Amino acid sequence: MLDEKYLTIIDKHIGEKLFAVYSMNGEIRTRYGKLTETYSGKFTLHDIASDKSIKINYYKDGDNFTIGLYNFYCVDLMRGKTPMNLQAKMDLSTISKSILPRIKEAQNNEIHLIVFDVGKFRKIDGVLDDIGMRDVIISNGRNSTLTDRVPYSQIIHIFDENCIDIIAS
């Protein structure tokens, strides 16, 4: 359950543009939009570009639930704090020891990165090729030669094909 104080915080952001990371039908999805309504168990984001609204559950309802609801300062309004990026987690030996094996296990598999860079969020889908000392290398498909090098400092989530955040501490 989401604590009442976080629901109050989210209510104060009605009319603001937010970024939602959520699971729907077993798939990681993201949405930029203006927060138009909040309910006890759901919120509505209106995508200005497509002029469509979507209702998203706060709580797990089957495969549909919110993972994070972020403002443009990268504060997760559902938790009231900024998430640690992968660089900060790798700098803490107790956390890095638990997440490194999970990242290595995901190698050569489909993953979804949630990245925050210069005030913008984006989602990168692809196959985890390698992890370096300071970045993650992801290809844009199993047979693709196109790759992205994403610095640890920009990565806030890495989801495997089962929608599990493998860098959650």
Same structural domain, 63 and 118: no
- Point out the domain boundary residue: 15, 46, 70: 70
d(C-alpha 132, C-alpha 45), whole Å: 36
* Cβ pair 18, 73 in contact under 8 A: no
**Number of structural domains the chain divides into:** 2
CA–CA distance, 88 with 96 (Å, rounded to integer): 9
Q: Are residues 111 and 147 in the same domain?
A: yes
Same domain, yes or no: 46 and 104: no
Model confidence at 9: pLDDT above 80: yes
What's the distance, CA 142 to chain centroid? 22
In the prediction, which pLDDT does 28 show?
94
Average pLDDT for the chain = 91
For 138, the domain range is 86-159
Secondary structure letter of residue 35 according to DSSP: E
- In angstroms, rounded to a whole number, what is the distance separating the alpha carbons of residues 36 and 44? 6
Would you say residue 29 has pLDDT above 70?
Answer: yes
Q: What average pLDDT does range 26-47 have in this prediction?
A: 92
Say if 165 falls within a structural domain. no
User: Which pTM value belongs to this model?
Assistant: 0.90
Task: State the CATH number of the domain containing residue 26.
Answer: 2.30.30.520
- Tokens 């920009």 label which residue? 154
Portion of the chain with pLDDT greater than 70, in percent: 96
Output the pLDDT for position 142. Answer: 58
Within a domain: 77: no
Tell me the C-alpha distance between 81 and 3, whole Å: 14
Q: Does the residue 23 lie in any domain? A: yes
Question: Residues 91, 141: one domain?
Answer: yes
Predicted local confidence at residue 140, as pLDDT: 83
- Residue 115: per-residue pLDDT: 97
The domain boundary residue, chosen from 70, 100, 121: 70
Please indicate, yes or no, if residue 99 is contained in any of the structural domains. Answer: yes
Q: Give residue 143's pLDDT band: very low, low, confident or very high (50, 70, 90).
A: low
Q: What backbone torsions phi and psi does residue 100 show, to the nearest 5 degrees?
A: -55, -45
pLDDT of residue 105: 94
Q: Residue 45, SS3?
A: strand
pLDDT at residue 25 in the model: 87
Given pLDDT bands bounded at 50, 70 and 90, which one contains residue 111?
very high
pLDDT of residue 134: 93
CATH code for the domain in which residue 125 is found: 2.30.30.100
Query: Is 68 strand, coil or helix?
Result: strand
Same domain, 64 and 94: no
What DSSP assignment string belongs to 145-164?
--EEEEEGGGEEEEE-TTS-
Quick: pLDDT tens for 60-110: 777 778 999 999 999 999 999 999 999 999 999 999 999 999 999 999 999
The upper half-sphere exposure of residue 143, i.e. CA atoms within 13 Å in the direction of its Cβ, equals 0
